[in-house]
Structure 1
Amino acid sequence: METLKIGNVLLTWLHGGVTNLDGGAMFGVVPKGLWSKKYPPNEKNQIELPTDPILIQADGKNILVESGIGKGKLTEKQLRNYGVTRESELEASLKTIGLNPESIDYVLMTHLHFDHACGLTRLADGKFVSTFPNAKILTSKIEWDEMRNPNIRSKNTYWKENWEAIETQVVPFEEQWNLGSIRLSHTGGHSNGHSILIIESGGEVAIHMADLMPTHAHQNSLWVMAYDDYPMDSIAAKEKWVPYALEHNAWFTFYHDAFYRAVKWGADGQIVESIKRQE
């Protein structure tokens, strides 16, 4: 499993599953002739999109960013529609480094779409229970409210199976949440309650743009997904945070990228450092 050190903070990528979604939807109005050069599709015009949580270890705490797509929760139809080629192996990943789901102190959810939130619960004796029973689960209040009361569009991605069992663990925040060198900041855009993660430790910076920048190929501020509920807000957030990250020589980290775990870009927009995804 790939790792990255940001000052005194250690990041480790876990295995949360792999989906394959339509490339056109993932790049919105960007012509295929452009995006396919950066992120090649398969014969079905799908692009590979892992759903790999990041384990953050800092100040004696085990903090999970996102939760993967779960295991045994999706129907055969859903597995087919979402192009799932690998379900979550999160528990096995944790075991590799001497941890288990009970070891997780915090789960940081940038948003609660199914491909990020399915791993929050699991089936046990025919009912859904919390996967991380000892964790506080952080997400924006806007996101949490919509999760429980989705609209006609968002009800397809906000599922009661992913929230009812963890309701008492959720700690909603307004605009920002901090834990030492780690903070969640509400941005909106991809969803109304979407947030990003910023880590600043020992003079080093990492920024997790979540689904505002699901892959390295979404670096351009105008390259936003057709899945975004508020695309102009996505663009505004990227216009704000990408320059901030570049100014601080930050690592950009990814949940969905099939090629890179993290990259640094130079002033010319070219990748100058990277951590490649190994599997």
Structure 2
Amino acid sequence: MEAISFGQWKLTWLNGGVTHLDGGAMFGVVPKALWSRKYPVNEQNQIELRTDPILLQTGDKNILIDAGIGNGKLSDKQKRNFGVLEESSIEKDLETLGLATEDIDMVLMTHLHFDHVCGLNRWDAEKEEYVSLYPNASIHVSSIEWEEMKNPNIRSRNTYWEMNWQGIEEQIRPFEKEVTLEQGIKMIHTGGHSDGHSIIELVQGNEVLLHMADLMPTHAHSPSLWVLAYDDYPMTSIYAKEKWIKEGIARNAWFTFYHDAIYRAVKWNKDFEISDKVEREK
């Protein structure tokens, strides 16, 4: 498990599983000749995309950023379609760190697409229902995202699945526009990738960390115009990337990733060159 110190806090990447999705869909209108120089692609035109939650430990709180793809939630057909070669082992990783799922105090959901939210609950065979995997946690998500999760449209119902909100409703803490959860921990609604998509800003003294979630799923998506075909509102994604990437570089911020198969976190200098990085161990 890769980890970085951030002020007095610690961030650790947990194994939430892996998908392999179409590279063209992940880079939208950008020609393959360009994006394939920045991110590896296989013979099926798929790129590897981790689904790895970040455990933020502040000393007082154990906080999870997104939830992985879980276990036993996907059919064999879905596993083939989404290129799922490995499911979550978050509970094992937490145990290695001396924690259990009951020790998680908050879960920060950037959005509720299946590859981020499947790991929030599990099937309880005895009760014959879905139950929360993190029973003592408050779950924070934008109110727009939560409403669409419960009432998806003809397009979004392909990723907002009813089984993924069952058993967690009482834990949901929706917010409008932005919310400060603890000193130095802020969720900010951006829209773009989904109507309710949010990013996360962490601040410790002069240190800044931005988790851009699926506005910038990998380091290769750093150009502001390189947005996903999956984005519901691509122009909103572009505007949000322009604002937050520029601001992050000016503040010498870490940019962290949930999906990147190469880097866990990077810093860019003013010339947009990587000046610091945390690589994922293969």
TM-score over 0.5 for the alignment?
A: yes
Task: For 1:202 and 1:6, locate their aligned partners in 2 and report how far apart those are by CA, in whole Å.
Answer: 10
Match for 1:150: what amino acid? P
Correspondence 1:7 to 2:7: yes
Q: Does the CA contact (< 8 Å) of 1:19 and 1:48 recur in 2?
A: yes
Q: Does the CA contact (< 8 Å) of 1:65 and 1:108 recur in 2?
A: yes
Could you give the per-residue CA deviations for residues 57-100 of structure 1, whole angstroms, max 9, x where no partner exists?
11410000000000111000000000001000010011110001
Which of residues 255, 258, 264 in structure 2 aligns to 1:261? 264
- Paired residues, number: 279
2:139 matched residue in structure 1: 137
Runs of 4+ in 1 over 6 A off after TM superposition: none
1:84 matched residue in structure 2: 84
Could you give the per-residue CA deviations for residues 201-249 of structure 1, whole angstroms, max 9, x where no partner exists?
0210110000000000000000000000000000000111111100110
Compute the TM-score of the two structures, normalised by the length of structure 1. 0.99
Q: Does the CA contact (< 8 Å) of 2:25 and 2:228 recur in 1?
A: yes
Could you give the per-residue CA deviations for residues 132-181 of structure 1, whole angstroms, max 9, x where no partner exists?
00000000000000000000000000011110210000000001111211
Map residues 1-279 of structure 1 onto 2, 5 A cutoff. 1-125=1-125, 126-178=128-180, 179-279=182-282
Task: For 1:207 and 1:5, locate their aligned partners in 2 and report how far apart those are by CA, in whole Å.
Answer: 14
Task: For 1:127 and 1:166, locate their aligned partners in 2 and report how far apart those are by CA, in whole Å.
Answer: 11
Match for 2:184: what amino acid? S
- 1:164 match: secondary structure: coil
Q: Does the CA contact (< 8 Å) of 1:206 and 1:251 recur in 2?
A: yes
Report the alpha carbon displacement of residue 272 of structure 1 after superposing the two structures with TM: 1.1
- 1:161 match: secondary structure: helix
Q: Does the CA contact (< 8 Å) of 1:8 and 1:202 recur in 2?
A: no
Identity %: 62
Task: For 1:271 and 1:251, locate their aligned partners in 2 and report how far apart those are by CA, in whole Å.
Answer: 11
- 1:12 match: secondary structure: strand
Match for 1:162: what amino acid? N
Task: For 1:196 and 1:59, locate their aligned partners in 2 and report how far apart those are by CA, in whole Å.
Answer: 22
- 1:112 match: secondary structure: coil
Match for 1:236: what amino acid? Y
Task: For 1:248 and 1:27, locate their aligned partners in 2 and report how far apart those are by CA, in whole Å.
Answer: 27
Q: Does the CA contact (< 8 Å) of 1:138 and 1:173 recur in 2?
A: yes
Q: Does the CA contact (< 8 Å) of 2:250 and 2:270 recur in 1?
A: no
- 2:271 match: secondary structure: coil
Gaps of 5+ in 1: none
Report the alpha carbon displacement of residue 127 of structure 1 after superposing the two structures with TM: 2.1
Report the alpha carbon displacement of residue 277 of structure 1 after superposing the two structures with TM: 0.3
Task: For 1:121 and 1:24, locate their aligned partners in 2 and report how far apart those are by CA, in whole Å.
Answer: 31
Q: Does the CA contact (< 8 Å) of 1:66 and 1:110 recur in 2?
A: yes
Could you give the per-residue CA deviations for residues 237-271 of structure 1, whole angstroms, max 9, x where no partner exists?
01111111001100000000000000001111111
Match for 2:101: what amino acid? P
Match for 2:139: what amino acid? I
